[in-house]
Amino acid sequence: MLFCPKCGSLLRPKKEGSKTVMFCRCGFTNKEVSSVKVSESSVKKKEEAKFAVVGSEEDSVLPLTNAECPKCAHKKAFYWLVQTRAGDEPETKFLKCEKCKHTWRDYQ
């Protein structure tokens, strides 16, 4: 990457006749470039699930709280917090029943 000595912006390639030169929006042009290689790459990651499924082997690291399961009425559940909305809004509390492993959200 080359940067403009005048304004510090990234220099961009452009064709001038049979040569490729590097230029800046401020007007600077670098004609003394020996070789220019223009390439673009992007790294695509597998899209990760927004809400992780917590397996039984990971339950031991989660805190336990008093909460009634809506499915089996058990009184204890593991919980974790996830920022599912904008940063200025509160996080969502997810609960997972200790007994039947049912998962639900707590919006309070």
Of the candidates 47, 48, 57, 89, the residue annotated as catalytic is 89
Is there a catalytic annotation at residue 59?
no
Of the candidates 88, 91, 98, 106, the residue annotated as catalytic is 88
C-alpha–C-alpha distance, residues 57 and 59, integer Å:
6
Dihedral (Cα; 48, 51, 52, 58), 10-degree rounding? 160
Is there a catalytic annotation at residue 88?
yes
- Active-site positions read 88-89
